Amino acid sequence: MPDHIKVSENILSFNDEIAKINRKLLDEYKLFSINIMASPGAGKTSAILKTFEQITGKFKLGMVDGDLASSIDADKANQSGISAVQINTGGGCHLDAKMVNDALKKLPLGALDALVVENVGNLVCPANFDLGTDKNILIASIPEGDDKPYKYPGIYRGVDALIINKVDLLPYIEFDLNYFKKGVEILNPGLVTFPISCVSGEGIADWVKWFTEHIFAKKGT
């Protein structure tokens, strides 16, 4: 076996062990957790903030924000009332379980009801690293084009829910929604999907209903 394959296997094996620790910790606090993945500009932070607007006063949300540099998204989250921790990967194209573990130590887990991990904007690397969250969520946006399931099958295969963001732009952008959905269905049959717009608010209620139902289920209430 080539050395580079052994190294990759060792890295993923170590990551998976830390992911188990994260999962156990989150289970102890009965926190429903999601790992949100998307390409840059798909609207991860906007969707998270819209979600928080709908649940504020009912649930307390924590956030781990991954980015190459800056704390812009975490600052927005903190200003909105979300307990957020920033992770700068320094050029790394994804978060790993150890980074998330370090961030969890800085959050008031006992005071939270749910945790959102906003991964680095990338459609390749994040799919390979288990972070220990309950669900993996992918956000696809209309301006990205309708061919993404065909070009990036790995990330579409491994998610538990799909958010199609910026549907308010469908009348103005050439995007074949049926072609897109066909590609998704081939890779991940029956995948629960939420078409939303963070501008008009379309579809947000359906997504939030799914999210809150899982919070209740994790808490056992």
pTM of the predicted protein model: 0.92
Tally of CB atoms within 10 A around 58: 9
Tally of CB atoms within 10 A around 179: 12
pLDDT of residue 56 exceeding 80: yes
Tokens of 71: 């704390």
At 209, give phi and psi (nearest 5°).
-60, -45
Closest CA to 129 of 10, 8, 15, 23: 15
Going along the chain from its start, the domains and CATH numbers come out as: 3-219 (3.40.50.300)
The mean pLDDT value for 31-56 works out to: 95
pLDDT of residue 6 exceeding 80: no
> How confident is the model at residue 8, as a pLDDT?
61
Three-state DSSP at 1 gives: coil
pLDDT of residue 1 exceeding 60: no
> Per DSSP, what are the bridge partners of residue 136?
35
- How many Å apart are CA 100 and CA 2, to the nearest integer? 30
- pLDDT tens by residue, 123-176: 999 999 999 999 999 999 999 999 999 999 999 999 999 999 999 999 999 999
